[in-house]
Amino acid sequence: MEHKEHPKRFFRHAISSPFIFMMIVPFVILDLFLEIYHRICFPLYGLAYVKRSDYIIFDRQKLSYLPWYDKVFCTYCAYGNGLPLYTSAVAAATEKYWCGIKHQRARIKALGDEEKDYLEYGDKKGFEKLEKTNLDK
């Protein structure tokens, strides 16, 4: 809560607030479309649902010592920061299903090692073996 260390910035904080809170619109739209996709496509693919509550965690607003306005901010931040993580987890499960090939360059792992079971980048023989196995089924 670094902002509390800067009470002289109140005016700056007040100016930025509408820009922070207007992000709720794209968040809700993303969330709506993501859930439609997740609930329809994952059963069709035979994939287990990604557990939303592992990524979007509402707990800080339960702290009795926080004033009501901080509880509102904490709820908003939990949603605003958890939703992209949840989106990324759904996308990673989709990517693993459709394209289990590692990227050429390592990427930042916000969700852990989701690529551990992927084929190595450039593993043509492994890909061809997988293709042949799938055609034989």
| 25-50 residue pLDDT tens | 999 999 999 999 999 999 999 999 99
Sign of CA dihedral 112, 114, 117, 121: negative
Mean per-residue pLDDT over the chain, rounded = 85
Give counts: helices (H), strands (E), the chain. Answer: 4, 0
Domain ranges of the chain: 2-98, 99-137
Which range is least confidently modeled, 4-8, 32-36, 53-57, 83-87? 4-8
Higher pLDDT, 96 or 113: 96
pLDDT of residue 125: 83
pLDDT value at residue 114 = 61
Asked if 90 and 50 touch (Cβ cutoff 8 Å), the reply is yes
Q: For the residues of 19-68, what is the DSSP string, one character each?
A: HHHTTHHHHHHHHHHHHHHHHHHHHHHTPPPP-GGGTS---GGG-TTS-H
Total Cβ atoms within 10 A of residue 115: 20
User: How does residue 88 score in pLDDT terms, banded at 50, 70 and 90?
Assistant: very high
C-alpha 90/C-alpha 40 separation (Å) is: 12
Q: What is the pTM of this model?
A: 0.79
